[in-house]
Structure 1
Amino acid sequence: MAFMKRILLFAAVNIAIVVTVSLVLNLLGVQPYLTERGLNIGSLAVFCLIWGMVGSFISLLISKKIAIWSMGVEIIDPYAGGRAAELVQMVHRLAKGAGLSKMPDVGIYPGVEINAFATGPSKNNSLVAVSQGLLNRMDRDEVEGVLAHEVAHIANGDMVTMTLIQGVVNAFVMFFARIAAYGVSQLLRGDDEEGASGMGYFAHMMTVFAFEILFGILGSIIVAWFSRYREFRADSGGATLAGRNKMIRALQRLKANTELPDEDQRAPAMAALKISSRKGGWLHLFATHPPLEVRIARLQQYAS
């Protein structure tokens, strides 16, 4: 059932992107970038910018609903009793301390891993969700540290900023991939009078696809760098909101649990406090999260 949900979501999002982009291109009157005279750089730039940005922003706009539906997040009633009510109160107190004018929704989702994330299209329409595993394995102060980190992400506008960066990177990847593919086509062009291309349509598209993979890998380094930067900034914001000791304790608890030889702890997690499995070497360039020991050391350094 969960797998089918993801398939339906993937299909729906992609259909929405294709339809929206097609409408925008038609409304703007963007002409094909490949003409008989060659490559139209202006049309190509607009084409890539629209495709790169629209897809990212559609994903952002529906990110909250997708997270709730795909991960089985149960939104907590603010007037509920027990620990759930305490969780909502904690998030709202942190959100007020961060200067948010509208309180985030708070939810819990099933999962044994220690996990949490913040999502939503804006500061005024956001969600903070934690796994049941986090609530089971962390004490109150550690939970507060995690929640403060997530609220800091919202207050910093990280979801929107990340979307902008990803959209711009996507646009550049598409732009340079098509220029490179056109260059290859020109090199293979015949010397006949009609100036036939050296590759057919299918070969040209495969070349574009190959260059998109290459430039996409390079672009992901930029996206990953910003992601690591925003994690440090959210750690700092979380320390300000909840207290530095609570933030450090939360990270230490996460580190301790990732070191356990537990099959559940090796399961992948989509979260702002997720620990990247990439350690050291050049693979660090693609890590979206800094190593926990580095994050802890930085907070301890500031505390001293």
Structure 2
Amino acid sequence: MNFFEHQDRARQNTQQLIGLFSLSIAVMIMAIYIATLFLFRMAPRVWWHPGIFIYVAGITIIAIAVGSLYKIAYLREGGSVIAEELGGRLLIADMADEQGRILLNIVEEMAIASGICVPEVYLLERETSINAFAAGFSPNDAVIGVTRGTLQHLNRDELQGVIGHEFSHIINGDMRLNLRLVGLLHGILFIYLTGELLWRLRGTFRLGKEDKGLPLWAFGLALMAIGSIGLLSGRLIKAAVSRQREFLADASAVQFTRNPNGLTGVLEKLQKMDSRLISPGAEAASHMFFGNALNPSFGENMFSTHPALAERIRRVGGLNVSNLPAMPSRNQMRSPSQESLTMGFAGGFSPTPEQIVNQVGSVTPEHFAHAQALLSQLPESLRLGAREQESAMAIAFALALDTENIEIQERQIAWLREVQPAELVEKTLELSSEISQLDPKIRLPLVDLAVP
């Protein structure tokens, strides 16, 4: 199955999610209907009243739809919205510390190897636990979020395993499903929030006639109770949707890196350390994380969005990688062979369209080593420049300059001077001289780095 088929499969999974969501709504409508009968003192004399049922069903569906559509519209901008809600800040190379730069390097290597856009990276500075997530509707708006504790407690191999796990969620289309899940379940949470509002209005209004009706706060209390049922239903849905995806992401991380020890090391550390988040947004996004982001609760095995750590370690340890090629050493990567340089999209061959399609999102140890080798050849000025907006624009212009026809190049530069600031044009000319000395195979990866 290639990258594009994975994206189609993810859309089919979204349809399954809507089925589970519809079942939860039906359960909540029945619960609210029964609560309404009791509040109006009709039960147990009357259990079926079509008029009240239609009224309750209509109001409930409208309330849930409004809550869900509002959240889905709010999430339209992609994964950055989730990252910022969780307290993350965009990690910029020239403002990052050594740990942050290592993280950015690993993300870039994985993106170049897989042939997809380099995602933005957000650092959850206040979170001291070990955790990470990927969020977005498509690889074009994907972000990867990593807690500060992850950078502090993991070595490079372990961090590489975590990033490989998150790239699996990007490549396999899990992110879109996860964001849809956040949006849809917000509608169920809206019932609880409505009940909480009515509870705060306690004593102000009454339902029904003064002598027979019950206080509005009592109905609000019932909505809170029913909303809690919806919250549990939401957790069940998240558990049903995400558990198997976590096993797939673990296996993919090992496939990408051919280093099961890195991922196993992370999971073993999670057995001894904490993966929980302090952010109030962790509940809504709990199914997106590498590890369990919530406090243990009743029915943990049933409601947990993640498989047990012991089971994940057992499965990763059981993956057969003994016959697979080992990752080259750092020295080997700095002197890539001609054979390695003909791999991936930067290779010196003429691939068919089918080969290109099948290679997108396909990460092998050779691709990963090839990406590291290419990036190691980049001058520091270009690698850092690609991460900064103005320099990235200059790199894009420099790559577009005609290096064979001086007359065309002069016309291009003249046009640039008309439409761009003088500083940007000078930066373009400065970087152009550096780019002209690079191996042509590095030009496309340089575009990948500059585009974000």
**Scaled by the length of structure 2, what TM-score is found?**
0.45
* SS of corresponding position for 2:142: strand
| Counterparts in 2 of 1:221 and 1:96: CA distance versus 1, 3 Å | same
Deviations 1:18-53 (A, max 9, x none): xxxxxxxxxxxxxxxx9x954347744651452242
In structure 2, which of residues 257, 263, 278 is the aligned counterpart of residue 250 of structure 1?
263
User: Is the Cα contact below 8 Å between 1:112 and 1:132 reproduced in 2?
Assistant: yes
- For structure 1, which segment, 293-302 or 60-69, has the greater mean C-alpha deviation from structure 2 after superposition? 60-69
Match of 2:376 in 1: none
Query: What displacement does 1:286 show?
Result: 1.5
* SS of corresponding position for 2:319: helix
| Counterparts in 2 of 1:66 and 1:214: CA distance versus 1, 3 Å | closer
Whether 1:147 and 2:147 are equivalent positions in the alignment is: no
User: Is the Cα contact below 8 Å between 2:165 and 2:250 reproduced in 1?
Assistant: yes
User: Is the Cα contact below 8 Å between 2:88 and 2:145 reproduced in 1?
Assistant: no
* SS of corresponding position for 1:133: helix
Match of 2:228 in 1: 213
Once residues 266 and 273 of structure 1 are traced to their aligned partners in structure 2, the CA distance between those partners, rounded to angstroms, is: 9
Match of 1:231 in 2: 246
Task: Provide the aligned length of Structure 1 versus Structure 2.
Answer: 248
| Counterparts in 2 of 1:163 and 1:48: CA distance versus 1, 3 Å | farther
Whether 1:240 and 2:255 are equivalent positions in the alignment is: yes
Once residues 143 and 266 of structure 1 are traced to their aligned partners in structure 2, the CA distance between those partners, rounded to angstroms, is: 14
What RMSD over aligned residues (CA atoms) do the two structures have, in Å?
Answer: 4.1
In structure 1, which of residues 93, 118, 137 is the aligned counterpart of residue 153 of structure 2?
137
Whether 1:272 and 2:293 are equivalent positions in the alignment is: no
Letter in 1 for 2:138: S
Match of 2:320 in 1: 303
* SS of corresponding position for 1:303: coil
Larger radius of gyration: 2
In structure 1, which of residues 120, 123, 135 is the aligned counterpart of residue 136 of structure 2?
120
Letter in 2 for 1:250: L
| Counterparts in 2 of 1:51 and 1:296: CA distance versus 1, 3 Å | same
Percent identical among aligned pairs is: 25
User: Is the Cα contact below 8 Å between 2:276 and 2:294 reproduced in 1?
Assistant: no
Q: Unaligned stretches of 5+ in structure 2?
A: 1-35, 37-49, 195-206, 283-287, 322-452
Whether 1:283 and 2:300 are equivalent positions in the alignment is: yes
User: Is the Cα contact below 8 Å between 1:74 and 1:109 reproduced in 2?
Assistant: no
Query: What displacement does 1:242 show?
Result: 2.1
Letter in 2 for 1:274: G
**Scaled by the length of structure 1, what TM-score is found?**
0.63
| Counterparts in 2 of 1:45 and 1:232: CA distance versus 1, 3 Å | same
